[in-house]
Every structure is written in C-alpha cells, then in structure tokens.
Amino acid sequence: MARAYCVDELLARQEPHQLDASALSGEVNRFTSACSAAAGELDAIVARVGKEVGDEEASIFRSHRLLLRDPALISKVRSNIFNHHVDARTALQETLQEYTHLFSTIQDEYLRERMADIRDVLGRVAAQLALQDGHHMVNMEEPVILVAPEILPSQAATFKEMKVAGIVTETDGTTGHAAILARSMGIPAVSGLRGILKECHTGDLIAVDGREGHVYLRPGPEVEAAYRKLQREYVDTAGERERARRRGHGLSGWRGRRRALSNGISVFDPSHRSRRGGAAGRLQGSH
C-alpha cells in the first residue's frame, strides 16, 4: 500500500502549450537548463551505480549521458520549440512521437531497443522541467508504487533510492525487468494491466498484492484498512522470519493468512492466475 509514481506521466499526451515568439528563446534556455540538470543527475547515478553495483550496469547511464550530448536529438527539440511555438515539454512529446514512428520501421532489434533509452532520457529532462515549475509530484522519502508501461533497465538502479514498494506494468510477462526485479528484491509486482496509466495518476493510493495478483486503485476505507493490516503483518512476520533464520528454524503459516485476507478484497477476474515472480490480472475499476 503506497502512493503511485507514474513513470510515463510527464511525457503523456497533452494539449500543446502555445507560446508567443518573444518567449521562445527563454523556453529554449529553460530546456537547456533542464538538460544540464539531467546530465548532472546521470553523472551522480553513474558514480553511485559503478561503485555499488558494477561498471557494466553503470554503462547504461553513460549511454544516456551520451544521448544528452547528441546534437541531432537536442536540435530536434529546440527546432520543435521554435518552429511550432510550443513549450519545452510539448516539444519533448513531439520529439518522442517522431522517434517512436522512426524506430517502429526499423527491423534491427538492437536499434529498436534504443528507443527505450531515448524515452528514458526525454522523460528525465521532462522531470527536470517539472521541478523548475515547482511540481514535486511525489515525496521520494516515502514508499511508492511504480506504475509504468514496462520497467526499463536504467530504472532498476533507482529502486532503493525511490523506496519502491510495488511495481505495476502494462506489459505482460514474468521474464521482463519488472518480474526479474520483483523476484530479486522481494517487491510485489503485477503485470499485464493495459490501460492502467490512463486510470492512475501520480499520488493516487494503490494496494498491490504480487502473489495473488490484486491491484486496487484508490481503495475505499475498508479495503485500505485491510491492506494496511496486511502490510503491518508482513513487516512483523519479516522480522520473525529473520530472527528464525538466525536461530536456524523455519517459519510457516504466513502464506495461508495472507491468502485468506487478500482473497476477500480481490479486484481481478478470478480466471487470471498468479505466476511466479509477478502476477497478471485485470483491473476492474476503482471505488
């Protein structure tokens, strides 16, 4: 149970914000400043990941840093600002659409995967623009439920920093990044919720049960209370499990208690079965 953090929300389609000609140069400067802030953020991540995880993992962020220096990418955003008289966020959205169309025609799988890197970088710049506007969309000091089309490799390195308490993705599969990361870090994950980003917004309260495949968006008081209780029991039991592990004894009975509680508040079609490492289901709505 935590607040949602919607990864693609900053690049979601919105009505273009038209600017007067006199404001265009200032908007380009604002975009340039956001790029510099994003580059500094990436430099810090490269150093931290290289030290804590490894050089291979850090190379993901080095490639993103190079993209921020790509004159073709940067000039395309600037051109969209000047030519279409739009704000920087709209220009980022237009650039993303152009690249998405271009890469969709490429047969080479490696080159098509580069689209994920471009989306990641543009999203990072968009986040810096939002910070400039004073939009602190979520408190990173508190646990969050990550809601995204899919989990990109670069996002994995920020999980501990963001205190990710759960993962919900639109794409299917138990072998993708979301499921793999969920297994390795003990994070509950549910996949295959197509359209969730149209229903969910950053800051919405969500309950996620990765074992049973339950996701409840903006739960009512009764459901929230049930999941809060489940969350407290899980924390208490995790502590018991750790103490038992140190004593060399096993711990049983937790799965049954968890299933008994969560079955009473499922919002998924019961024909959907949970799969190891992340469940799949269908969101029926919010109450």
pLDDT at 275 over 50: no
Give pLDDT, residue 42: 92
Whether 146 contacts 210, CB under 8 Å: no
Token pair in block for residue 141: 């000091």
Spatial separation of the C-alpha atoms in residues 127 and 89, rounded to whole Å: 9
Q: How far apart are CA 99 and CA 81, in angstroms?
A: 16
Residues 251-267 pLDDT 10s: 333 333 333 333 333 33
Cα angle for residues 253, 275, 277 (degrees, 5° grid): 80
Range of weakest confidence among 37-41, 130-134, 135-139, 277-281: 277-281
In 71-201, alpha helices (H): 71-84, 88-104, 109-132, 153-156, 159-162, 177-185, 196-199
pLDDT tens digit sequence for 199-209: 888 889 998 88
What structural domains does the chain harbor? 14-132 (1.10.274.10), 144-280 (3.50.30.10)
The rounded distance, in Å, linking the Cα atoms of 1 and 145 is 8
Q: Which helix (H) or strand (E) holds 259?
A: helix 254-262
Predicted confidence band at 192 (pLDDT cuts at 50, 70, 90)?
confident
In order of 10, 195, 283, the CA distances from 280 in angstroms are 26, 14, 10
| CA gap 8, 151 in Å, rounded | 11
pTM for the model: 0.64
Does 134 have pLDDT greater than 50? Answer: yes
pLDDT score of 9:
61
CA-to-CA dists, residue 223 to 2, 164, 165, 219, angstroms: 13, 21, 18, 6
